């Protein structure tokens, strides 16, 4: 068993589950095999969702503060209707003409800097990052990749080679170098400078080893590294360093994209940089499998001349209808503005909590992507992995869902649907307060 996954169910505790869950876990082990993982000490058996709520088989409601796919809320009716209607009308592919996919591409491009002019559709973020790697090699003639220490970019063979968060059992490629994320809490004071210097050094090492730099790829919110958002602009010098070494800059917006970070529609926009390639995924269809790569057109020229790209389901009429509906709802319901407002208030409330709880070392993030860094003490800033696990599972007992990230497994990852309201944030904060109080009194 590879234990690098935070908040994973431990199958050796199977006997302690209720009979229904146990039977389901048994069937999973039997027919899905050993590579699958479940969340939580007590896995959740969910049967229904609506808005920010998920319901288990007993009808118990759980406040979802974690799922960033159903970003407009679970079973969002406009998206469900779009999927149902288009499925009943036509599902084909991009080798026939269809207006839906073109409208989607044009709308996505309208949210981005003008240099980003073309879109290619895939089904998953992994496929989008895989295509980004193919394109970066085609453009630069190099093979090297720079990622952050605990980055996750996907599960295809090539992308897993530059996804260190998959753990030591999945080796990094010989052409891959890792750099520490821009960490304003434990890192150097000059966050942007330190990040840029690390990229320069990694690029030099790649060059020395004969690889050359094809791309620097970063998740603009550094989700699996432990959530890092500030200071805004701190990516810019690293992007310049990557370009100086001949590489492209790929913004992985699978996690932070579609308004989640509150101030801007895309995470990279907070950092005042213009990517060469941008990859999109998870919330793009509010649960429908659709993803994309957005490119500066000059980067597609050679690839388009030498190769072709066809993804059977990528950009099909239903995918386009779902993603167009998602864009409609984000705009109509001002969800980015909601993420900004509720996220800011939630971070403030968490900082207030930190006044009373020394174990909260840091609160950070942007919009509704928030990290709470739990420590044994504030001087050493030592990651408090045990407390984090206690908190995640105690919140689950109080029927509030979230998880954790970071190399110390000690950063609460708060990433609710964008329809999260102040009242939901209040529930989360007061439950967290209770749990941290109980921990101090030794009864958590």
Binders of its own copies in range 300-319 (CB under 8 A): 300-301, 303-314, 316, 318-319
Three-state DSSP at 67 gives coil
Residue placing its CB nearer to its own copies in the complex, 43 or 383: 43
- The footprint of its own copies on residues 327-366 (CB under 8 A) is none
| Closest distance of CB 338 from its own copies, Å | 21
| Closest distance of CB 379 from its own copies, Å | 35
Spatial separation of the C-alpha atoms in residues 44 and 42, rounded to whole Å: 6
| Closest distance of CB 196 from its own copies, Å | 28
| Closest distance of CB 150 from its own copies, Å | 15
234 binds its own copies (CB under 8 A): no
Residue placing its CB nearer to its own copies in the complex, 24 or 345: 24
Spatial separation of the C-alpha atoms in residues 211 and 207, rounded to whole Å: 5
| Closest distance of CB 290 from its own copies, Å | 8
x/- mask, its own copies, residues 153-192, rule CB under 8 A, reads --xxxxxx-----xx-xx----------------------
- The footprint of its own copies on residues 380-439 (CB under 8 A) is none
* Long-range contact pairs involving 362-366 (C-beta distance under 8 Å, separation at least 24): 362/185, 364/184, 364/185, 364/227, 364/228, 364/229, 364/230, 365/221, 365/227, 365/229, 365/414, 366/221, 366/229, 366/230, 366/256, 366/261, 366/262, 366/263, 366/267, 366/270
Residue placing its CB nearer to its own copies in the complex, 167 or 231: 167
Residue placing its CB nearer to its own copies in the complex, 291 or 414: 291
Kind of pairing, strands 291-295 and 118-122? antiparallel
- 219: which strand partners? 252
| Closest distance of CB 24 from its own copies, Å | 5
243 binds its own copies (CB under 8 A): no
The edge-to-edge listing of strands for the beta sheet with 61-64 is 53-56, 61-64, 400-401
259 binds its own copies (CB under 8 A): no
106 binds its own copies (CB under 8 A): yes
- The footprint of its own copies on residues 21-60 (CB under 8 A) is 21, 24-25, 27-28, 30-39, 43-49, 54
Buried b (16+ CB within 10 A) or exposed e, 347-383: bebbeebbeebebbbbbbbbbbbbbbbbbbeeeebeb
Pick the closest to residue 103 from 326, 299, 298 (CA basis): 326
- The footprint of its own copies on residues 274-293 (CB under 8 A) is 281-282, 286-290
């Amino acid at each position: 068993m590879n234990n690098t996954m935070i908040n994973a169910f431990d199958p050796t505790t199977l006997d302690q589950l209720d009979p229904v869950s146990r039977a389901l876990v048994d069937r999973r082990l039997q027919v899905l095999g050993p590579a699958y993982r479940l969340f939580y000490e007590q896995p959740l058996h969910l049967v229904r969702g609506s808005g920010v709520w998920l319901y288990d088989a007993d009808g118990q409601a759980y406040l979802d503060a974690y799922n960033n796919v159903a970003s407009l809320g679970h079973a969002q009716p406009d998206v469900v209707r779009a999927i149902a209607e288009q499925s009943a009308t036509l599902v084909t592919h991009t080798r026939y003409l269809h207006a839906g996919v073109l409208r989607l591409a044009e709308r996505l491009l309208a949210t981005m800097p003008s240099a980003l002019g073309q879109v290619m559709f895939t089904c998953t973020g992994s496929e989008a990052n895989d295509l980004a790697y193919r394109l970066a090699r085609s453009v630069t003639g190099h093979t090297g990749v720079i990622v952050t220490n605990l980055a996750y970019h996907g599960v295809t063979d090539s992308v897993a080679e530059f996804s260190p968060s998959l753990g030591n059992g999945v080796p990094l490629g010989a052409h891959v170098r890792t750099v520490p994320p821009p960490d304003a809490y434990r890192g150097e004071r000059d966050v942007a400078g330190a990040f840029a210097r690390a990229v320069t050094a990694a690029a030099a090492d790649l060059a020395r080893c004969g690889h050359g730099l094809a791309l620097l790829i970063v998740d603009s919110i550094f989700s699996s590294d432990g959530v890092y958002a500030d200071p805004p602009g701190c990516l810019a010098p690293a992007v310049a360093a990557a370009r100086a070494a001949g590489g492209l800059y790929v913004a992985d917006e699978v996690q932070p994209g579609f308004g989640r970070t509150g101030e801007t529609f895309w995470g990279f926009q907070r950092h005042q940089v213009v990517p060469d390639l941008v990859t999109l995924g998870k919330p793009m269809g509010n649960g429908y499998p659709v993803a994309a790569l957005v490119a500066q057109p000059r980067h597609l020229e050679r690839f388009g001349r030498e190769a072709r790209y066809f993804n059977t389901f990528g950009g099909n009429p239903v995918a386009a209808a779902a993603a167009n509906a998602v864009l409609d709802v984000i705009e109509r319901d001002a969800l980015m503005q909601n993420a900004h407002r509720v996220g800011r208030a939630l971070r403030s409330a968490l900082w207030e909590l930190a006044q009373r709880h020394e174990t909260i070392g840091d609160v950070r993030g942007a919009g509704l992507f928030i990290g709470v860094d739990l420590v044994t003490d504030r001087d050493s800033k030592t990651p408090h992995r045990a407390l984090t696990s206690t908190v995640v599972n105690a919140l689950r007992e109080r029927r509030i869902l979230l998880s954790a990230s970071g190399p110390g497994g000690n950063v609460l990852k708060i990433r609710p649907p964008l329809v999260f309201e102040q009242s939901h944030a209040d529930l989360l904060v007061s439950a967290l307060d209770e749990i941290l109080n109980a921990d101090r009194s030794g009864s958590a």
